[in-house]
Every structure is written in C-alpha cells, then in structure tokens.
Homo-oligomer: A and B are copies of this chain.
Amino acid sequence: MSAVTSKTTAEAEIRDLVNNRVEAVRAKNVKKLMSDHAPDILLFDVLIPLQYSGVEEARKRTEEWFSAYGGPIGYEVRDLNITAGADVAFCSFLYHVTGTMTNGTEVNMWVRTTLCCRKIDGRWLVTHEHNSVPFDAETGKAGLDLKP
C-alpha cells in the first residue's frame, strides 16, 4: 500500500470513528460511545472537574451526561479536521448540542472538541479527548451562546 493510500485510509478510519460517536450520542448508547475509548484515556471535559483519568471515570461521566437529558440529545458536528499518520492521529471539530435536561434547562450550545488517537492492535482508539467552551474574562461565565 502506498503512503498516500495509507494516509487516505487512516483519515477515513478517523472519520468513521467520529461518525460512530455522532450515532452513539444521538442514540444515548453508552457502550457504543465507549467503544473508541482506550483503557487509559485522559479526558478533559466541558464540565468540572479538570480531568477524568481512565475509561471507568469516562464511562461514569458519559452515563451522567446521557441521563441528564430526559429526551433525545441533538448532536451535530461541523468543521471536522483530521490529521492522520501511520499510528498516531488527531482531529478537531465543533459540535452543536441541543436538548432539554431533566431539571428543565434548555441546552443549545456549541462546543470545541479535539480527539487524539493511537492505532493499537490495528484499531484506532482515543487516548486523549478535550471538550470545552471558552469563557468571557469580563463575566467569568462560560460562553454558552457562541456561534461559529
């Protein structure tokens, strides 16, 4: 396989990984979402605390996220940028998350995501994930009404 073909294949595989996430969130399917997580994943998430270490902490966080919504979660990805080598890759995107939380809060915000991946035993896994919204220095508030 030429280097060009290999690179194209790797990019397609990372694109599949992102598509799998989109389907998993929309279906609120924890197992499907966790299927791309490396055992030692380091997660920097949108909400406090600073970090979650390992797949079990990430799973609890995911379960809390999905159960915080009584109905469906809207999850739309845009501006996906992929850089893939032979066994190390990363991608970034923005996602628009919408829905109604069980406490009545209407969620409608744009989030930045960076996924960092390693190819382990022939499969791409996310070893580091970073999700966030920026904050406004003047108010100290997270920017929940920003638009790309």
Chain A positions near chain B (C-beta within 8 angstroms) = 42, 44-51, 81, 83-90, 92, 94, 110, 112, 114, 116, 118, 127-128, 130, 132-137, 140-144, 146-148
Bound CA span A115–B50, Å: 17
Q: Is the CB of A92 within 8 A of B130?
A: yes
Given contacts A42-B92, A47-B137, A88-B85, contact A130 B148 (CB under 8 A): no
Q: Is the CB of B142 within 8 A of A140?
A: yes
Given contacts A89-B88, A116-B114, A118-B83, contact A130 B130 (CB under 8 A): yes
Q: Is the CB of A45 within 8 A of B134?
A: yes
Closest to A68 in B: B137
7 contacts between A and B (CB under 8 A): A48-B146, A50-B146, A51-B112, A92-B116, A132-B134, A135-B142, A142-B142
One of B47, B136, B146 near A134 (C-beta < 8 A): B47
